[in-house]
Structure 1
Amino acid sequence: MYAMSDLRSLIEEMVTRHLPDDSHFLVEVKISPKGDQSLLNILIDADQGVTIETCAKISRAVSNEIEEKNLIDNAYRIEVSSPGVDFPFSGSRQYMKNIGRELKVFLEDGKEIKGKLLSVGEKEFTLQVKKKEKGKKATEEEASYAFEDVKKSIVQVSFK
């Protein structure tokens, strides 16, 4: 009926339309076959976190719209949730919401950096990283990284 990329775009538009306010945003829509049905995995986030009620409302609204417009021929299942802490960031908005947290950043050149997220700009972000020199006490310094140089960034969970 629809090409997968067209269907994904339609669902992204639906989700965005049904978000409760500007503090909420779409992270990802993934559609994958699961046996004889399709799985629609919708990830949303918000500046102050996502509630179960918001996920349920979006799930119902998107499902109703899919049914009304007859967008999917076969059986399907919708899962709406927020990305887990181990899910890589997909945009600057997720960086903004995690200022003050420890990140692990994987750069395109293969380097890995850990540091505390201090600030986020339009094209880059700044971390406070520990710099270790042989025979000396570790010091902390600020370092900025361009989004285009980053393969992925994830929050480091601390159990202290």
Structure 2
Amino acid sequence: MNIEKRVAELVAEKITEIERPDLFLVSANLLSNGQLIILVDGDSGIGIAECVQISRYVGFKLEEEDVIKTAYNLEVSSPGIDTPLTMARQYTKNIGRNLAIKMADGSKREGKLNGLTEDALLIEEQIKQKGKKAEIIESVIPLDNITETKVLISFK
């Protein structure tokens, strides 16, 4: 049995049960050190109470079904601020925020996320040219050209 697949099913069951269709599974990974890390997010965020409910449900079901034969540590949380965006729903909830984007060619770009299409991000970025005032342009960045995207946090 694929443990991550079973965990995904259990998380989906609990999300349905607590009637929060805005919640979604970002990832479920069983690491070699026995840590089972489940990241859940929501279109309008997720609270500790929901993480606790999902943790208890998944933990109980895994024990009941004896899915994991060795000792493990279960951790359910929302993706941290430094966790890269991986799903369209994560991009959608961050429209209007600034992103740091690593490109496949090794270059880096920054800009405000204005939207997304099925296969690209629409960002507003400042382009500075020597001796000229910075220009703000809207760029279309194909998702295929992106290796990592993180939300930039402003403390202003």
TM-score normalised per structure 1: 0.91
2:28 is aligned to 29
Is residue 2:82 matched to residue 1:86? yes
1:146 is aligned to 142
- Which shifted more, 102-111 or 7-16? 7-16
Shift of residue 145 of structure 1? 1.0
1:117 is aligned to 113
AA matched with 1:63 = G
1:76 is aligned to 72
Identity %: 37
Separation in 1, partners of 2:91, 2:66 = 37
SS of 2:61's equivalent? helix
1:1-160 matches, within 5 Å, as 2=1, 6-19=2-15, 20=18, 21-34=20-33, 38-160=34-156
Structure 2 alignment gaps of length 5 or more: none
Structure 1 alignment gaps of length 5 or more: none
Runs of 4+ more than 2 Å apart: none
